[in-house]
Amino acid sequence: MGESRSPVERIEELGFNSVWVADHFCNYGQPTQLWFEGWTTLTGLACVTRTIRIGTLVTSISLRHPAVLARQALTVDHISHGRLNVGIGAGAPSSEGEIVYEMIGIDDWNPAERVSHFKEQIEIIDLLLRERVSSYSGKYYHLKEVAMYPPPVQTPRPPLTIGCIRSKMLKIAVKYADTWNSFGGINLNSEEMFKSIKNQNELVDNYCKELGRNPSTLRRSVLVYGQEGLTLYDSKDNFLKYIEKYKEIGFSEFILYYPWKEEHMPIFKKIAEEIIPDLKS
């Protein structure tokens, strides 16, 4: 807290393209950890940065009505002067350790319900951010003449990033997302993670063909997850080896955890100074 610059200001100065925040109710692995609400945090980040893009990775659909989320996104898009990426996911179920459902008394949908809710929420968010007045009638959500003024800064709407790893969700991502993000899966080693993401990527390409979308129009993004994210800071070569195999199968965005350990900062800076310029080109 005593530093003159916040971590996000350091990240912006180093030349990274974007900064992302989680949007769980709490860290469900460590519920007493210090934790701030995601969209409020984005507002603060928008106010202390000038050029870097900001987003949630990812907003859980369990926590908000989609119309409220669309209004929040519209607001942050204006506060950031058009630097918002809207990152959305279906949210982890209680079977994967998420405790929010019992903690605050909200529904823990079964897998089919979760996908259905997600599809309607994405349809609503996409609709409300594109149109000034719109209505919607679905199984779970009903909207009547919702007015969205002013329009977003970004046109036709702020970019949507959908974070998902399962087949039905991947198909929704292909239909609506500007960027698809994957973290591979839970408790996977490096080899298993790459194999999982490669399989997901092939499914995405197949869905693009099925839905008539040019696969090159969907950006592919990887969240470098778990222990894997820490070992990348062991050396510049480790980082290069990691990203090259993903670049070969079409991934162009790599989202890293901020290196809270000071001994990782030199490699973090090298990544920014020596590798990021090539990725941007």
Which pLDDT tens digit goes with each residue over 261-281? 888 888 889 889 988 887 776
Give tens-digit pLDDT for 15-46.
999 999 999 999 988 999 999 999 999 999 99
The model's pLDDT over 223-235, given as tens digits with 9 standing for 90+, comes to: 987 666 667 888 8
Question: What does the mean pLDDT of the chain come to?
Answer: 94
- Whether the predicted model's global pTM rises above the 0.85 cut: yes
pLDDT of 227 reads 62
Per-residue pLDDT tens for 39-67?
Answer: 999 999 999 999 999 999 999 999 999 99
% of the chain surpassing 70 pLDDT: 96
Mean pLDDT of 207-223: 98
Task: Identify the residue whose tokens are 């809710």.
Answer: 117
- Answer yes or no: CATH 3.20.20.30 is held by domain 1-163: yes
Sign of the alpha-carbon torsion through 215, 121, 119, 162: positive
**CA-to-CA separations, 133 to 69, 130, 172, in angstroms, rounded:** 16, 9, 24
137-178 pLDDT tens trace: 999 999 999 999 999 999 999 999 999 999 999 999 999 999
Residues of the chain with CATH 3.20.20.30: 1-163
Q: What gap in Å lies between CA 118 and CA 62, rounded to an integer?
A: 9
Distance between CA atoms of 72 and 37, rounded to whole angstroms?
13
